[in-house]
Amino acid sequence: MKIKADIPVFNQSSEAIGGIYIAKLSVEDVDYHEDKRGVHRDDFFIFFVITSGSVMMQCDTVNIEIESPSVLLMKPFQIHAVQQVSAGSSGYFISIAPFLIPNLCSEIFQNLKISEQVKKIEEVLQEDLMANIALLKSVFTKNQLYNTQIINGLFNALVYQFSNLFQSSEIPTPERKNQSSLITTNFKKLIAKNNFLESPSFFAKELNISTTHLNDCVSLTTGKSVTYWLQNAMLLEAQRLLYYTENEVKEIAYHLGFKDHSYFSRLFKKISNETPLGFRNKFRE
């Protein structure tokens, strides 16, 4: 079964610093993005922090109403669009490159159901959370020594605040999933074990289905193939090692399970359009 990928996928803004971007939004800004983008996917995490008013978003065909003060999490490649914005609404748009999200936090975010992706900010948490967001926004607009490192440090505190917020969910309500969604969810759980160098047939066998059926389900649910998600998982882990360690490219390749570090470098460039060292230098500028 061929899946027509006609829903646009957007990359992170070129204004991002070290994989992090933050902007303060008003009604006019939200309307601008709605007019320009409509229904689309993004290849990064988004946190919409609504500080006043309310916004109606559509996420994977589900309408979500966000009333201030709240945080809406949008996962990479979820289909979404702004539906309605109330007068006087404002807040923050924060985009994060997936490799920057710690594994513990990523697991929390990825396991959320759509109904759990919006959280009211409790009064006891508002002061600290908003202060951190405002400080991140302030530093983001400055040009100072070690700015990338300062932004990254503030982000690390913020992402754990978000994780704490979303982890403290109320008793979850059951959410029906179709077969394709369930298979895709189980496939991604298997990838999380860092066995991304295995073939698609390995995962199909683990799930007791055919390789063709696995690829059809994953493509239908995400718009991307099994091979894409395997390569994406490898790329994320490689990016983390390049960003957070001083290990040589050869060492990182061997750590990931590649016997030929040259092949690893070629594959990295094929997927990301830049060399491993180019990536490291860009995000450490």
Residue by residue, DSSP assigns 109-138 as: HHT--GGGSEEE--HHHHHHHHHHHHHHHH
Q: Could you state, in order of their start, the residue ranges of all structural domains in the chain?
A: 9-167, 179-282
Mean pLDDT value across residues 255-263: 91
Of residues 108 and 28, more confidently modeled: 108
- Which pLDDT band, with edges at 50, 70 and 90, does 200 fall under? very high
pLDDT at 182: 87
Alpha-carbon span 99 to 111, nearest angstrom: 17
Look at domain 9-167 and name its CATH class: mainly beta
The band of 52, judged by pLDDT with boundaries at 50, 70 and 90, is very high
Question: What does the pLDDT look like over 1-44, one tens digit per residue?
Answer: 233 345 788 888 888 988 899 998 876 554 444 445 578 889 89
CATH architecture assigned to 179-282: Orthogonal Bundle (1.10)
The mean pLDDT of the chain is 84
What pLDDT score does 31 carry?
A: 44
Residue bearing the bigger pLDDT, 52 or 77: 52
- The pLDDT, as a whole number, for residue 230 is 92
**Same CATH fold, 179-282 and 9-167?**
no
Instruction: Give start and end residues of each alpha helix (H) in the chain.
Output: 27-37, 103-110, 123-140, 147-167, 179-191, 200-206, 211-222, 226-244, 249-255, 261-272, 276-282
Taking the model in full, what pTM does it have? 0.70
State residue 262 phi and psi, 5-degree precision.
-65, -40
